[in-house]
């Protein structure tokens, strides 16, 4: 993946951007919300684990941001105390003294894999795991 300048005249490069669907869960709309046919509305929500990283050339540091995104308003269908709705479901890490670019990319890729595994561990009961987009459990 080629690095893209985040700021046209800046020394900030985005060098890693991964968004993976790690699972899906089904929800039924709250009582009183019916689909057009009069039946309860059922939605399927995708759970995305994303990791993005930028490198500041002048300072030789990398900033790694990881988080969770849910499709179709899935966060509103989960209890307020669910991990996906908490501040813990977003992380920012600063990696200092990065002199080996290949090692840095490998480290961030491993962080992304670890993050996906963590997000999968918080899937709601009965959810379908789709990590790596292959539909395998």
Q: Is residue 19 part of a domain?
A: yes
Q: Is residue 94 part of a domain?
A: yes
pLDDT tens for residues 67-114?
999 998 899 999 999 999 999 999 999 998 667 888 999 999 999 999
Q: Is residue 73 part of a domain?
A: yes
pTM: 0.82
pLDDT tens for residues 5-35?
655 555 888 999 999 999 999 998 776 666 6
Q: Is residue 133 part of a domain?
A: no
Tell me how far the alpha carbon of residue 134 is from its chain's centroid. Answer: 17
Q: Is residue 134 part of a domain?
A: no
How far are the Cα atoms of 77, 120, 123 from residue 132, in angstroms, in the given order?
24, 11, 15
Q: Is residue 128 part of a domain?
A: no
Total residues belonging to the chain? 137
Q: Is residue 52 part of a domain?
A: yes
Range of the domain at 115: 4-123
Q: Is residue 136 part of a domain?
A: no
Q: How many domains, in total, are found in the chain?
A: 1
* Secondary structure (3-state) at 109: helix
Distance CA 20, CA 53 (A): 15
């Amino acid at each position: 993946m080629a690095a893209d300048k985040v700021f046209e005249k800046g020394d900030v490069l985005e060098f890693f951007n991964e968004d993976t669907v790690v699972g899906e869960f089904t929800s039924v709309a709250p009582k009183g919300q019916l689909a057009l046919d009069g039946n309860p509305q059922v939605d399927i929500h995708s759970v995305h684990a994303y990791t993005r990283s930028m490198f500041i050339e002048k300072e030789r540091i990398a900033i790694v941001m990881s988080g969770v995104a849910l499709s179709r308003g899935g966060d509103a269908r989960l209890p307020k105390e669910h991990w996906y709705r908490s501040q813990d479901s977003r992380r920012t890490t600063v990696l200092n003294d990065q002199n080996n670019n290949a090692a840095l990319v490998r480290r961030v890729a491993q962080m992304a894999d670890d993050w996906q595994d963590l997000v999968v561990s918080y899937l709601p009961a009965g959810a379908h795991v789709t990590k790596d987009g292959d539909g395998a459990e």
